[in-house]
Amino acid sequence: MASTSLISITPLLPALLLVLVAMGAVVAWLGRLGHGRAIVTACLRAVVQLGVVSVVIAWVVSFPAAVAGFILLMYGVAAFTAGRRIVPGRAGWWAGVPIAAGTVPVLAVMAASGVISMKGIVVIPIAGILLGGCLTATTLAGRRALDELTQRKGEVEAALSLGFTPREAALEICRPVSGQALVPALDQTRTVGLVTLPGAFVGMLLGGASPVQAGVVQLVVLVALLAAEAVATVVTIELAARGFFHRGV
pLDDT bin (cut points 50, 70, 90) of residue 3 is very low
Q: Where along the chain do its domains lie?
A: 1-59, 61-241
Cβ count within 10 A of residue 227:
17
pLDDT in tens, 62-85: 888 999 999 999 999 999 999 989
pLDDT band at 220 (very low <50, low <70, confident <90, very high): confident
Closest CA to 100 of 78, 83, 122: 78
| CATH architecture of the domain formed by 61-241 | Up-down Bundle (1.20)
pLDDT(2) > 50: no
Question: What does the pLDDT look like over 102-147, one tens digit per residue?
Answer: 999 999 999 999 888 888 888 998 999 999 999 999 999 999 999 9
| Nearest in space to 228 (alpha carbons), one of 141, 137, 143, 119 | 137
Per-residue pLDDT at 6:
64
Residue type, 46: A
- The pTM assigned to this predicted structure is 0.84
20 HSE (CA, 13 A, CB side): 9
Task: Specify the DSSP class assigned to residue 2.
Answer: E
| pLDDT at res. 4 | 47
